[in-house]
Copies of this chain bind each other. A is one copy, B any other.
């Protein structure tokens, strides 16, 4: 494909590229965006789109902010046109008036993005553009509006129906594996040797979602350990010395790390589908698997304690009890769990299964949660009911043991 793409560039873009060489000072990226929307550029659209993407890629941050401001301010909806076409549609609702209303109520910058996306490889570039936007809009809040247009488009393009689940293993291409090393966000991968230990043994699995237009870029991936019983520490899972077991001997699948890979896809949720599909996939392949569980960090525990002027107790049992209280009762103003990982898994229909002290001895684990970790359980028979109770009434599913721990914790308080 890429040779063809090159050739297309050569053949069709000569004219515009030539133009660019000549008129570099005359034609701004903003002018080119206007052209891209103009009818007369239709045949040359792909060449123009590539020029715009190239031009963007060469910009410094300040210029990018200027470009985003242009899209925000000059490529937004025209309120008058919206009102006008809406009235016409109300008066005489037919195909013509509705078309006019749809055209007026969608900002032209969405069509700009769709036309840029014609070029091979553009999808990844547009995702990177949104990553820039998210970063730069921290200092320029007026750009936040523009982000909603990207998010709207990406939610459509990265619809679950277009994603492909692929196993990632030691036979996967190196250029994908180096991204796994780079993107692992929970338990850092130190080296190719470390990666090999997570992918090659027969009791280790990894799966990722990919989009066909970005075949070399995982969107999200989950690392899975197959084990006998539920592990209580991350050391049990990652230790170099652990005994490898046969995949068919395992009764439990442990999701011990889930990482989103694309900052430009923030807010487009895949994790829910990923876990469910992996559960289905593994159940099919390994009928001996009876338990699907996470071994998860509790990233907000220490922060919450600090906000409440408390400290994590020294005694392991007390630490577990306090964590149980935290997970079951600490809430954000909107009533959802304070801890983001809890929010994610409980929102997916999982339940809090067990809490382990001294489960993560890494400095990161110590800083975030004093080494405490938690298993969330994915019990297929209860997942829908848990989810609906959680969404409907904020009820959090937990094992009797965890509930008892929390009760003990509150007595101590």
Q: Show the binding face of A for B, using Cβ within 8 Å.
A: 3-4, 7-8, 11-12, 15, 39-40, 42-44, 46, 77, 79, 82-83, 86, 89-90, 93-95, 98-99, 101-102, 105-106, 114, 117-120, 122-123, 141, 144-145, 147-149, 152-153, 155-157, 159-162, 164-165, 170-175, 177-178, 192, 196, 199-200, 212-213, 216, 272-273, 276-277, 279-281, 283-284, 347-349, 380, 383-384, 387-388, 391-392
Residues of B within 8 A of A171 (CB): 173-175, 216
Partner of A153, one of B7, B156, B347: B156
The answer to whether B284 and A4 touch across the interface, beta carbons within 8 angstroms, is yes
Is there contact, CB below 8 Å, between B161 and A123? yes
Contact partner of A161 among B120, B156, B279, B284, CB < 8 A?
A: B120
* Contact A280 B170, beta carbon cutoff 8 Å: no
Distance, CA A149 to CA B95, complexed state (A): 11
CA distance A272 to B12 in the complex (A): 13
Contact A7 B42 (CB under 8 A): no
With the chains together, A44 CA to B384 CA distance in Å? 7
Whether the Cβ atoms of A276 and B153 lie closer than 8 Å is no
- A11 and B283 within 8 A (CB): yes
Known: A83-B83, A173-B173. 12 other contacts (CB 8 A): A11-B279, A12-B383, A40-B391, A43-B348, A43-B387, A77-B101, A94-B141, A95-B148, A102-B152, A123-B162, A171-B175, A174-B177
Minimal Cβ-Cβ distance residue in B for A181: B192
Q: Are A3 and B392 in contact (CB under 8 A)?
A: no
Contact between chains at B118 and A161 (CB < 8 Å): yes
Knowing A172-B174, A173-B173, A280-B4 touch, does A43 contact B145 (C-beta < 8 A)? no
Contact B162 A122 (CB under 8 A): no
CA distance A171 to B99 in the complex (A): 41
**Chain B positions within 8 Å of A280 at CB level:** 4, 7-8, 11-12
Choice from B11, B79, B120, B162 contacting A213 with Cβ under 8 Å: B162
A260–B178 alpha-carbon span in the complex (Å) = 27
Q: Could you tell me the distance in whole angstroms from the C-beta of A143 to the nearest C-beta in chain B?
A: 9
Q: How close is A120's CB to chain B, nearest CB, in angstroms?
A: 7
